[in-house]
Amino acid sequence: MLRKLMKYDMKALGRVFIPFYGAFIAVSIINSILAKLQLALPLAIGASVYGIMLGGVCVLTLVLTLQIFRKNLLGNEGYLMFTLPVSADKLILSKLFTAFVWYILSFIALMVSLVVISSVRLDVREIIPALIRLMNKLPIGGFHFAMFTIETLLAGIIMLLGMIMFLYACISLSLLVSKHRGLFSFGAFVVISMLWQVAASQVVKALSKLQMEYNIYTAHGFMWGGIAWGLINFFIFYFITRYMLTRKLNLE
Amino acid sequence: MTWSFTEDRPIYLQMQEQIKLFIVSGVYPAGSKLPAVRDLAAEAGVNPNTLQKALAELEREGLVYTQRTSGRFVTEDVNMINSLKTELAQEQIMKFLKKMEEMGFEKSETLELIKKTAEEMK
Amino acid sequence: MAILECSGLTKKFGAKTALDDVNLSVETGRIVGLLGPNGSGKSTLLKLCNGLLTPSGGSLAINGMSPGIGTKEIVSYLPEQTYLNNWMKVSDLVDFFGDFYRDFNRSKALEMLKNLEIATGDRLKTLSKGTKEKVQLILVMAREAKLYLLDEPIGGVDPAARDYILNTIIKNYNPEATVIISTHLIADIETVLDDVILISKGKLLLTSSVDEIREKNGKSVDAFFREVFKC
Range of the domain at A154: 142-252
- Comparing alpha-carbon positions, the chain C residue that sits nearest to B10 is C211
What is the predicted pLDDT for the residue at A114?
82
Q: Which of A80, A86, A251 lies at the smallest CB-CB distance from C69?
A: A86
Among C56, C38, C49, smallest CA distance to C201 is for C38
The more confident residue out of A214 and B106 is B106
- Domain assignment of residue A71, yes or no: yes
Q: Are strands C4-13 and C57-62 parallel, antiparallel or unpaired?
A: antiparallel
C148: contact with A, CB 8 A cutoff: no
Domain borders along chain C are: 4-74+147-228, 84-144
pTM of the model as a whole = 0.87
Strands of C4-13's sheet in order across: C16-26, C4-13, C57-62
- How far, rounded to the nearest angstrom, does the alpha carbon of residue C187 sit from its chain's CA centroid? 17
Do residues A46 and A117 make contact, with C-beta atoms less than 8 angstroms apart?
A: no
Nearest CA-CA distance, residue A107 and chain C, Å: 26
Q: Which residues 6+ apart lie within 8 Å of A56 measured at CB?
A: A20, A24
Q: C142, C106 in Cβ contact below 8 A?
A: yes
CATH number given to C4-74+147-228: 3.40.50.300
- For the cut 70, the answer to whether the pLDDT of residue A105 exceeds it is yes
Would A118 be classed as within a structural domain? yes
Q: Tell me the C-alpha distance between A209 and B2, whole Å.
A: 90
Nearest to C51 by CA among C40, C39, C66: C66
In a domain, A8, yes or no: yes
- The verdict on A70 and A148 lying in the same domain is no
- Banded pLDDT at A142 (limits 50, 70, 90): low
Number of A/C CB contacts below 8 angstroms equals: 55
Question: What are the two backbone dihedrals, phi and then psi, of residue C74, each rounded to the nearest 5 degrees?
Answer: -115, 0
Q: Which of A16, A70, A83 to mutate to test the interface with C (most CBs of C within 10 A)?
A: A83
Does the pLDDT of residue C226 top 80, yes or no?
yes
Report the C-alpha dihedral over residues A152, A158, A160, A164, rounded to 10 degrees.
Answer: -170
A163 and A101 within one domain? no
* Distant-in-sequence contacts of B96-101, Cβ < 8 A, 24+ apart: none
C12/C155: higher pLDDT: C12
Residues A72 and A158 both lie in one domain: no
Q: Which of A248, A103, A77 is nearest to A176 (CA)?
A: A248
Query: Domain residue spans in chain B?
Result: 11-76, 79-121
Task: Please give the full DSSP string across A190-243, using - where no structure is assigned.
Answer: HHHHHHHHHHHHHHHHHHHHS----SHHHHHHHHHHHHHHHHHHHHHHHHHHHH
Residues A103 and A146 occupy one common structural domain? no
Last residue of a domain, one of A94, A122, A150: A122
Q: Are C84 and A77 inside 8 Å of each other by CB?
A: yes
State whether B49 and C214 contact (CB < 8 Å): no
Of C167, C192, C218, the CB nearest to B8: C218
A98 inside domain: yes
- Neighbours of C, requiring at least 3 CB pairs below 8 Å, are A, B
pLDDT tier for residue A126 given thresholds of 50, 70 and 90: low
Complex ipTM value: 0.91
Side chain identity, residue B1: M
CB C4 within 8 A of CB C77: no
Highest mean pLDDT among A132-146, C76-90, C160-174: C76-90
Q: Which residues of A touch C55 (CB under 8 A)?
A: none
Asked if the Cβ–Cβ distance from B46 to C170 is below 8 Å, we say: yes
pLDDT classification of A244: cutoffs 50, 70, 90: very high
Q: How many domains does chain A fold into? A: 2
Domain boundary among the residues A74, A91, A122 is at A122
C51: chain A residues, CB-CB within 8 Å? 82-83
| Beta carbons within 8 Å of C163's beta carbon, 6+ residues apart | B45
Of A54, A52, A222, the residue nearest A152 (C-alpha): A222
Residue A82 distance to chain C (closest CA, Å)? 7
Confidence category of residue A94, pLDDT binned at 50, 70, 90: very high
The CA distance from C162 to A98, in Å, is 40
- What tens digit of pLDDT does each residue of C184-204 get? 888 888 989 999 999 999 999
pLDDT at A139: 64
In chain C, which residue's Cα lies nearest the Cα of A11?
C88
| Residue A122 predicted with pLDDT over 60 | no
Which pLDDT score, from 0 to 100, does residue A123 have?
57
pLDDT at position C33 is: 95
What gap in Å lies between CA A195 and CA A201, rounded to an integer?
10
Three-class DSSP category at A36: helix
Q: In CATH, what is the architecture of B11-76? A: Orthogonal Bundle (1.10)
Cα(A150)–Cα(A167) distance, rounded to whole angstroms?
Answer: 26
Please state whether at least 3 CB pairs lie below 8 Å between chains A and B: no
